């Protein structure tokens, strides 16, 4: 079992759409004029992709520069009905590898790499919940790694409990003919990063706080997703206002 304290970092993306501030607005912003933060230019699509991740010419990645004004974007995370805890027992003589890493912003511990020899059902990006019944988070990660390795060396089976990686933070709604709609963002996209920070493991409340507290202009990355589970989409529609982030 390997431990890695490096933060999970967002994967590289190709730019498909990008907003650009005009020279006058950029000069105002560079001089520190706060009124620019309430100004938004019209998004300009620049299809520069060399990726094959297309469906009917739909871009896989949309990058958007947001200056903090209201754009009517609604975000939510569907809750799968079949999310179950996956148990993995690390026994003496078992050399199948799971590399664990801490995810800085969510404070969670995730499986960064999983050997193909693992047969318990654990997959990369799964979230480690506990070791031998003791909750594991970033704060006690080093301590629990010592407990894990010491117990294994003593010949005691170590039971690790994982949850599947959470569903993506999906776009629930964008206003028709609004700035994001013109940039190509639809309900088939997920929010992937905020200022290049991966939001995949954050709660929806944490995503909302990061959006509101982040420095503006703010770099948002949306990715087309193959999330076509009808039950999840129905769940998104039924969420209350408290479960939805709106900016």
CATH topology for 17-78+167-246? Pdz3 Domain (2.30.42)
What dotted CATH number matches 82-163? Answer: 2.30.42.10
- 10 contacts: CB under 8 Å, gap ≥ 6: 192, 193, 196, 197, 198, 221
Rg (CA), the chain: 21
Q: List the one residue out of 174, 170, 163, 190 whose CA is nearest residue 106.
A: 163
Q: What parts of the chain have a pLDDT lower than 50?
A: 5-52
Res 94: pLDDT? 75
> What's the pLDDT at 19?
37
pLDDT tens profile 93-114:
776 689 999 999 999 999 999 9
Check if 17-78+167-246 and 82-163 are the same fold: yes
- Domain locations in the chain? 17-78+167-246, 82-163
- Which has the closest alpha carbon to 132: 114, 146, 118, 122? 146
């Amino acid at each position: 079992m390997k431990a890695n304290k490096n933060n999970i970092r967002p994967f590289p993306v190709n730019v498909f759409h990008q907003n650009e501030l005009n020279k006058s607005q950029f000069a105002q912003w560079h001089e520190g004029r706060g009124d620019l933060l309430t100004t938004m230019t019209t998004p300009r699509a620049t299809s520069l992709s060399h990726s094959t991740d297309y469906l009917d010419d739909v871009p896989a990645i949309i990058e958007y520069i947001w200056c903090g004004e209201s754009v009517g974007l609604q975000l939510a995370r569907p809750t799968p009905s079949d999310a179950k805890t996956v148990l993995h027992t690390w026994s003496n003589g078992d050399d199948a590898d799971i590399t664990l890493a801490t995810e800085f912003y969510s404070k969670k511990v995730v499986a960064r790499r999983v050997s193909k020899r693992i047969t318990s059902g654990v997959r990369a990006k799964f979230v480690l919940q506990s070791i031998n019944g003791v909750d594991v988070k970033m704060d006690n990660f080093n301590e629990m790694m010592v407990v894990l390795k010491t117990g294994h060396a003593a010949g005691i089976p170590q039971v690790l409990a994982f949850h599947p990686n959470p569903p993506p933070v999906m776009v629930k709604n964008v206003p028709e003919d609004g700035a994001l709609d013109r940039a190509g963002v639809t309900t088939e996209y997920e929010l992937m990063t905020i200022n290049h920070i991966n939001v995949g493991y954050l709660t929806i409340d944490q995503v909302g706080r990061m959006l509101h507290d982040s420095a503006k202009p703010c770099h948002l990355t949306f990715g087309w997703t193959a999330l076509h589970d009808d039950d999840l989409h129905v769940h998104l529609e039924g969420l209350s206002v408290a479960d939805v982030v709106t900016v």
